[in-house]
Structure 1
């Protein structure tokens, strides 16, 4: 029987192994992967080769595969505060392993769903937590870009200076804490651009 792979994967070009094996057998799925007709982009998530490298698709697949909340640089990108790209950052519960699949950086936290929001239907940490998390673990993101992200988040009212300050308070050992605290103080005083600061 001939299958239309694109139709099986749906309009977004990807599907879980459960959804696929409900319509085809595992042997067929394995044969398609071996032949390069379909790609495994995360454990249990498959996509058309033409879309497998799209950043947004990788983000959706990581959420599906790891069952976490998008955080750090990835959350800032979804909030429109940093450009998309790089590995997908997810925060998961402390009980989970900190090892993520290829292309995914897992961060463990006891309050993973506390600051949960949704951006375009995806679970994401609130803007203030994403700024502070990324400040503490920038993973190659430049401090100047993070300063701009914090300024833009406050200017666009994605968060308020006192919310950033509260997130900083929760992290007494945050790397670069003094510099971020100073920036938040300037934002609280009404500065709205790098030039004013």
Structure 2
């Protein structure tokens, strides 16, 4: 390949647009690089160095053979300021989803923009969408839809059993709040499975912070006899603050829900034991329930919890003095 063109391609990370290339070399040089197989057109006006493509990575258009990060760069270069990464592509940039080679790329564009979907790229037109804040932000040097809109847009494109994970991750990571997500959801009245999204936001607003906690809330720790637990209750232990999964303050009982990974990690178990001892010194009883029991022994866990709470209440009753 022409050394000047080679330098341009190298400086641009393996991707180059036609307008930039013809500023430094003749059009014929660009065509020759494509005919010789050193450059491959992945989108109109966008070319990639052949070494970036791997036919074993995907089938179909050349764009699907690029690493997802390079594919997102190529899509934005093709849009040329007329669109922003959206849906699962934006979700990947936000660090809440992993795109695989060959996955479709998504762009949001204003309603009047004249670019259309291409093999490997889905273009979404949205009324009222603008390529400026608050609709679009720049993250990792790329224009992406704001997080709340990204999560709402991505909801129906994910398999049902994977939809909650990025929403929970965004709230746990303090990237957004259930309230801001609820406002974004309000602008999508026809969203698929919208009721499940709203229920998830309600659980997150109530303090649930994992799928296991949501399961516990909906199937185990509500109903007759159960107190109103404080979820993720902050407790100061020395120089640090810990958060209790389900805390019944009058009985001073903390219910901890142990996921499969946490429960099987010896280091995490040691940390939990140390924390449990510190809480015990404060008069707080810690009760652990593993995921297996929560899911498969629902009634047993309920009855065990109620018995523990009743025992703690009885111990706090001051006996009357005999006459």
TM-score, length basis structure 1 = 0.92
Match of 1:117 among 127, 137, 141: 137
Give the greater-gyration-radius structure (CA). Answer: 2
Match of 1:58 among 60, 71, 79: 71
Match of 1:36, SS state, is coil
Within a 5 Å distance, the mapping from 1:148-187 to structure 2 comes to 148-187=165-204
Give 2:148's aligned residue: 128
Within a 5 Å distance, the mapping from 1:1-197 to structure 2 comes to 2-3=2-3, 5-11=5-11, 12-52=13-53, 53-66=66-79, 67-85=82-100, 86-97=103-114, 99-109=116-126, 110-113=128-131, 114-136=134-156, 138=157, 141-197=158-214
RMSD: 1.7
CA distance, structure 1, for counterparts of residue 199 and residue 135 of structure 2: 23
CA distance, structure 2, for counterparts of residue 5 and residue 135 of structure 1: 42
Bigger relative CO (Cα 8 Å, ≥ 6 apart): 1
Displacement after TM superposition at 1:41 (Å):
1.6
**Structure 2 spans left out of the alignment, 5+ residues:** 54-65, 215-323
Match of 2:213, SS state, is coil
CA distance, structure 2, for counterparts of residue 112 and residue 143 of structure 1: 29
Over 4 Å off, 4+ runs: none
CA distance, structure 2, for counterparts of residue 60 and residue 38 of structure 1: 16
Displacement after TM superposition at 1:74 (Å):
0.6
Once the two structures are superposed, residues 121-141 of structure 1 have per-residue CA deviations (whole angstroms, 9 ceiling, x without a partner) of 1011122111111114x0xx2
CA distance, structure 2, for counterparts of residue 6 and residue 115 of structure 1: 37
**Structure 1 spans left out of the alignment, 5+ residues:** none
> How many aligned positions are there?
194
- Contact 1:116–1:125 (Cα < 8 Å) also in 2: yes
TM-score, length basis structure 2 = 0.57
CA gap 1:149/1:2 in 2 versus in 1, 3 angstroms: closer
CA distance, structure 1, for counterparts of residue 110 and residue 186 of structure 2: 21
Give 2:279's aligned residue: none
Match of 2:190, SS state, is coil
Displacement after TM superposition at 1:40 (Å):
1.1
